């Protein structure tokens, strides 16, 4: 075997992370999610979320959710130059004591987000960029999908409720 070159280095890459708050009807979405957790296509305890999870596309046809997504799209389109994209996944989740979300990314998505439906004494951690987002009702985070993120184990009896979503390139 002849190796001509072997390079291992970190490289800088552009990313975005947008944090904000939006008015949200939490009770409506939480009630809907509870039904999704009972769906035969649920993802309960099958993914990086070690807790309850609806099917991947659960909120794609939800009019109230899509009104919120339209606000996110307007902002992203007005501030960030991205290739054409569509929303293709939107799922609800809940986690409680001794549960967490394992560290992961959302590739091959273009951008992703999460909307929190309640206050929870926990945070979403983006280790690579040293950013923690504390969970509050109506708080949202929109971010480049390649950013690794996750949560630590919930140590209290609180339940964390949220909706995550992914946008990908138009094919």
Tell whether 2 is covered by a domain: no
Give, in degrees to the nearest 5, the angle at Cα 146 between 141 and 149. Answer: 55
pLDDT of residue 113: 98
Strand partners, 139: 21
Domain count across the chain:
1
pLDDT of residue 72: 97
- For residues 59-71, average pLDDT: 97
Strand partners, 169: 85
Tell whether 41 is covered by a domain: yes
Tell whether 138 is covered by a domain: yes
Query: What's the rounded Cα separation, in Å, for the pair 28 and 15?
Result: 33
Tell whether 90 is covered by a domain: yes
CATH number at residue 163: 2.60.120.620
Place of tokens 């009896």: 157
- In tens, the pLDDT along 95-149 reads 988 888 889 999 999 999 999 999 998 999 999 899 999 999 999 999 999 999 9
Q: Side-chain half-sphere of 41: how many Cα atoms within 13 Å?
A: 6
Query: What's the rounded Cα separation, in Å, for the pair 146 and 150?
Result: 13
Tell whether 11 is covered by a domain: no
Give the residue numbers spanning the domain of 164.
17-169
Its pTM stands at: 0.91
Query: What's the rounded Cα separation, in Å, for the pair 114 and 104?
Result: 14
Tell whether 87 is covered by a domain: yes
Tell whether 133 is covered by a domain: yes
Q: How many CB atoms lie within 10 A of CB 106?
A: 23
Query: What's the rounded Cα separation, in Å, for the pair 159 and 171?
Result: 37
Tell whether 110 is covered by a domain: yes
């Amino acid at each position: 075997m002849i190796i001509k070159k072997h390079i291992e280095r970190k490289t800088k890459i552009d990313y975005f992370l947008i944090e904000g708050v939006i008015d949200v009807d939490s009770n409506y979405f939480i009630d809907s999610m509870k039904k999704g957790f009972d769906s035969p296509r649920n993802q309960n305890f099958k993914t990086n979320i070690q807790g309850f999870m609806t099917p991947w596309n659960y909120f794609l046809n939800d009019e109230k959710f899509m009104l919120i997504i339209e606000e996110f799209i307007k902002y992203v389109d007005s501030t960030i130059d991205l290739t054409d994209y569509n929303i293709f996944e939107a799922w609800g989740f809940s986690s409680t004591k001794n549960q967490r979300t394992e560290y992961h990314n959302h590739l091959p998505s273009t951008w992703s987000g999460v909307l929190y439906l309640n206050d929870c004494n926990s945070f979403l951690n983006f280790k690579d960029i040293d950013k923690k987002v504390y969970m509050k009702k109506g708080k949202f985070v929109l971010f480049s999908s390649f950013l690794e993120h996750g949560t630590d184990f919930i140590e209290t009896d609180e339940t964390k409720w949220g909706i995550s979503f992914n946008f990908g390139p138009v094919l």
